[in-house]
Every structure is written in C-alpha cells, then in structure tokens.
Amino acid sequence: MGYEEELQSERDYVAGLYARLDAERARVKAAYQSALGGTGETAMDRDNEVRARHREMKRLNVADYGLCFGRLDGVDGDQSYIGRIGLFDEDNDFEPVLLDWRAPAARPFYTATGANPEGMSRRRQFLTRRRSVAAFTDEVFGRLGEEQGDVALLEALNAPRGEGMRDIVATIQAEQDAIIRLDHPGVLVIEGGPGTGKTVVALHRVAYLMYTQRERMERHGVLVVGPNPAFLNHIGRVLPSLGESDVVFTTTGGLLPGLSAVDEDTPDVARLKGSLKMAGVLKAAVAARQKLPSEPIPIGMKDVVVPITADVAEWARQEARDSGLPHNEARKVFREIVTYVLTERAIGRIGKGWMSRSDKVAWEEMRAGLTRDLADDDNFVAALDSLWPIMTPFELLGELYASPELLAEAGGDPSLHRAEGSPWTVSDVPLLDELHDLLGRDGTEQAVDQAAAAERQAEARYAAEVLDSLISRADHMDDEDHLFATDMLTEQDLAERFEEHDQRTLVERALADRSWTYRHVVVDEAQELSEMDWRVLMRRCPGRSFTVVGDLAQRRAAAGATSWGQMLDPYVKGRWEYRSLTVNYRTPAEIMAVAARVLAEFAPDVQAPESVRANGVQPWARQIAESELAAAIEEFELVEAGFEGTSVVIGPPGVPGTVPAAETKGLEYDSVLVVAPERILADGPRGAAELYVALTRATQRLGVLHHEPLPAALSGLAETVRT
C-alpha cells in the first residue's frame, strides 16, 4: 500500500474515533441532564452523580484537539492507536480502539528505540489538523536509515509559540516519560536547566497520577504553586487539555484564603522572614500575649470582691498551655480555671458561717449562679481580654511589626519593624499561616462553628421525630405486605433532606478553606521558596506527595534553597527522589552558547543543558545611547510583527518598555530582546542568574541592546550596526 492509500486509511480510522467520541459525548450529556433531574436516592448521591458526569463531560470535551496522535505496531502484527483519552468498542467486548497515552500499553510509544524496540516494529506519528490526519511519519525499528524519530518533536519545537504552554502528550521523550511514570509515592525533585521541559513534565506527571490513582486523588485534588500569576496563566491550559480539572493554581502569595499578596520585601527582610527562626519568633509573640497581672484585678461578685492575682493567672496559664490547644481555643481552659478559683473563694466568703463545703448541692448551685454572673460581667471579660486576648493572625503580626518593643521581646530582628497598616507582602503569607496554627479559630469563627453544629443537631432531632412518627403509624397497620417509608429511610436520610449541600466545585471549595489538604502538590521554581514557605506546603499535604521542580542555578530569592536537602530533609529525610533533565528542548544551540558563558561565570560547576536543535539564526547585540532606547524597542517590535509568534523585551527593574527577568521565569517566547545586560548583572548578588534567565527565554531569536560595553560573558555576541 502506497503512502496516499495508507494516509486515507488512517484518516478513515481517526474519523471513526471521532464518531465514537461524539456518541460518547451525547450519552454522557444525557446522563448528566438526568442526574440534574434528581435520580439519586439522597441529596449527596445526586450531588456526586452530577459532579461525576460533569467531570466526564469535561474529559471528553478536551479531546477534540489531537484526539489520536499515533500508532504502535507490534512485531506480532497487533496495532494500537495512541491518543489523549481511551475509547472502547462496546460491540466487541469493550476492546480498546484508542489507548490513553497514560496506559501501560502505550508506554513504548515514548520509550521504544532501535536498540530497544520493546516488542515493537513501527512507531507512526500523526500530524493532525483539527479532526483530520494531514500526514504521518514512521519509525521502523531494526531497519537502518528508516528511523525518523525527531520529525514530530522538531516540528513541535520549531512551531510558533502561542499565548500559553502546550501539552507535549504527542512528543514526550524517553527521559521525560521515565519521570512522568516514576512509581514513587513521596517527594520527587525534578531539576533541569532552562528549556529542559521540567514544568511540562511535572504537569504530565500530575495527569498520569490522576489517571492511575483516580479514587485517591479526585476527592482532594492537586495544588500547583508557581512563581507569579503570569506563569500560572501560561501553564494553566496544560492539565485541562489533558482532561484534568480538579487542580488549584496559585502563587505562594495566594496560599491563604482571603489574601492575595503581590508586594515584595527587600532581599534582606525577605531572608529574615523566610528563615525557620521566624517560627520561634511567632511562638514567642503569642506566648507574650498570655500575661500575668502586675497588680491584682478586683472582680465583684454578689456582695464580695475577689481579685485575680498573679498566682491564679499563672496556674490558669499553665493549664491552658498544657492543654495543647491553639491560643484562642485554650482561652476556654484559662477562663475555666480563673472562674473556678474566683467562685470557690467567693462562695467561701458569702457562705461563711452558714454553708458547709460538704453541702455539695448548695455549693454547686451557688457556683453555677456566680459563673453565669461572671460570664455577663464586663469587668471580668475585660480582665480576660487583658490576660488572654482573642487575636487574629493579622492583628498579632501587624502589632508585632509596628512595635520595636514587641519585636525585641519575641526575639525578632529590628529591621522587621514597619509602619502600622503597611501592605502585606508575599513573605508575610507563611507567617500569617503559621499564626493561624498557633492561634486557632477566633471568637467569630468559633461562634459560626457552634451555630452550624447546633443547626445540625436540630435537623437530626427533627429527623428523629419524623422517623418516630412513621414507625408509630407503621406499628398500627396490619398489612404485612405494605412497604412503609421506614423500610427505605434512615434518620440520616431524613436529615439529608433538610441539609443544604455544597454545590461549589472542588477548586472553589479548596481555595476558600485554609484547612483543605491536597493529595499531591506541584511546586515550580521551587528554588525560590523559603523555609517558612515549605512549612505552609507541608501542612497542605500531610501525605507528603510532591513533585518539586526547579533549578538551583537560577535561584534569585535570598531566602531560597541552596540545596534540596536543606528544604526537604526536615520533613522527608531519606525519602525523597532526585531526577535531572539534561536536554534543552526550548533554546536553539546558537542562543544557548551565549547563555552557557553567563552560567559559567556564576555557577562554574553547573553543566548547561545541551540543546536538541540549532536554527541557524545568530543572536546579535547593538550598543545604543539611553536616549535611543525607546526607538530601538519600537523597531524591535515592528520587526517582530512580521513574524508569527510571541516576543518580549526584558530589562532591569524600572526601565520603561521592559519586563523584569523575574517576571518571565518559566515562560518562553519566540523572540526576546534583552536591554542593558550590564545593569542586570549589577543588580545585586543574583544579577548573573537574572541575566541567565533572560537570555534563555527565546525559542527562535535573541537580541541585546546595551549602553555600556558588553559584559565579558557576552563578548562573543555579534555586534550589529543600524543601517
């Protein structure tokens, strides 16, 4: 069969797959609408059914683009088509007609080679346009000169970039596939230089885990933490394009519900706030608010006055601390001890001469009355507030920063002092989260919880009364064959009829709930996270299931990681795996040669990733006066308008018309113009890393504009002259 005949055959087969996809969509849509109509036995059953059908609809809807992207031929003559999702022949014992790329049988599509064909004779890769196969290429294993394994990959790499990251499901390489399918339940660190695909590999690993561990993952979902909103927007389509939507995307500044911090501290302050020592400072700050009275506090009860003395408060404080409860919730213990002592002493004085301690009933009756009086006594409540105040994390941290005295008392560095009302920074978020654990729920939150519990109890009581009534009626009926409501309903069933079920998606619920825990967490640009950031993330994932992505050579943050063990050993010592990616799929060899010289200047022990391709386009440099910058940028943008794809101008912070390198981390553009590299290098101790990041964002073209002579590391750039 000739190429054209085979191409038509593949088109017919893929058209049949799309017909099955459309039929499956129609079936699931009908089931979804039926679930909306309420066919489940209980409200919870109906909610679960609706959510399950909705997930199924979303999974099918993303399959339109590149439903099937290849075929595997076994040496035994079997053929398997590989695609985004699995499809089955319902008329033939549910035989697979399309294998999900994550299925074990699909793995040779990514890993088979001429040296190790894994039982395969051919790998066929499709080039698709919408729903049709436009062309295909073959690798015939074992026939010299017939392997063309790089065709699909190179076509994808050379294609213009769009507005967001694309999945690589059709072109996963063997070293990437090994990481994606790695059977490790704990923390996996993926390190790689620019362009090695570590981010997209991590996202495909999430899709693989959600496929192989569906029941475990879907109830709690996955958290993806990235360096900035632009990066999250860039990667946000990858998992939905693979049919996975139960994923929360956020920055470290958004890890606390109700707060989205974007302001940055100075490097020195960020380093202090990010240090693990801050956990001790915050603990001391909370303890400092658990006070003893300098003078006895008189409390009037009936006709006597009983003081809260230092020894009473000290006993109550110790009992409250020993309870192990967070500060706000331990106030109940503090109050109970103080109340007990005050009422005991008051009764002894009031009943002196006529009430005996042995008269337990009278004694306890008087205690109950005095306790009620104290609860409504403004002076007593004010005394409690002064000795054991209810606080929110925002109140306590704000007061700590605003007071040099409180900072000193808690062991904090004086440079943390700032004016009251200053905006919260990204580095404050882990501190506020730490305080949530130390303080616990405040009075408002406790009142809401108590009201909700009371409402649930009332619903349960009402359901029990209804059930008792039904049972009573059933007892007076003689027809043994009659089916009563009590044969089908339980007390819980009836209570659910009156309960409002949460209709929000998993993502919405997780974002609103600080106590939400995830089954898996992906941390990108992880080298930038501080020790305090890691404390937050470990709270969010008690199962310690992480994919950690980063490159220590690109670290910018003063509080960031100098080694992976520094951050991970306190939590999973000896239980985390390390993998590296060494091939640069993004950056052409011509550009990577320039970036590698910069890397050698500040990290001589780090090997730059090897580019998988060259494109024949040499990077260039041009020296201009500062007054010419705006015109030069405009010229660059005008030239780039003639190309398909994306472009960016990167420069030092504050330079008009440019984007700081830190804001482009993890992003990629067809063309990059770097402005004033000499000033980027001079901007602090991590300036060289910033320049390295800037130079490695380009997938096709790189230009450099400089005012001063080029730094030595860039001296190999060809200088161009404006004509």
Binding site for ATP, by residue number, is 192-199
- Contact between 290 and 330 under an 8 Å Cβ cutoff? The reply is no
* Residue carrying the six token digits 């004016």: 419
Bridge partners, residue 388, by sequence: none
Nearest to 693 by CA among 650, 657, 723: 650
Q: Name residue 493's amino acid.
A: D
Give the distance between the most distant pair of CA atoms in the chain. Answer: 115
What is the C-alpha separation between 310 and 265, in angstroms, rounded? 41
Angle between helices 378-387 and 327-350 in degrees, nearest 10: 130
Q: Token digits for 110?
A: 């990514």
- 374 near 343, Cβ under 8 Å? yes
Tokens representing residue 82 in the block: 């590989």
Rounded Cα distance between 341 and 361, Å, is: 18
What sign results for the dihedral spanned by CA atoms 458, 459, 463, 466? positive
Q: Which long-range contacts (CB under 8 A, 24 or more apart) does 57-60 make?
A: 57/25, 57/28, 57/29, 57/32, 58/240, 58/243, 58/245, 59/85, 59/243, 60/21, 60/24, 60/25, 60/28, 60/85
Q: β-strands 68-74, 120-129: how paired? A: antiparallel
456: closest CA among 513, 490, 496?
496
Identity (one letter) of the amino acid at 460? A
Q: Tell me the C-alpha distance between 93 and 281, whole Å.
A: 65
Residues in binding site: 192-199
Burial, 599: exposed, middle or buried (Cβ in 10 Å; 0-12, 13-18, 19+)? buried
Cα–Cα distance, 59 to 257 (Å, whole number): 28
User: Alpha-carbon distance 509 to 576, whole Å?
Assistant: 30
User: What is d(CA 123, CA 74) in angstroms, rounded to the nearest whole number?
Assistant: 9
Task: Give me the phi and psi of 459, to 5 degrees please.
Answer: -65, -40
Two structure tokens written together for 377? 């006594």
530, 427 contact by CB (below 8 A) = yes
Q: Which residues of 122-145 are buried (b: 16+ CB within 10 A; e: fewer)?
A: bbbbbbbeebebeebbbbbbeeee
Q: Report the candidate in 95, 126, 94, 89 with the shortest Cα–Cα distance to residue 109.
A: 126
**688 Cβ contact partners less than 8 Å away, ≥ 6 residues apart:** 598, 601, 602, 681, 713
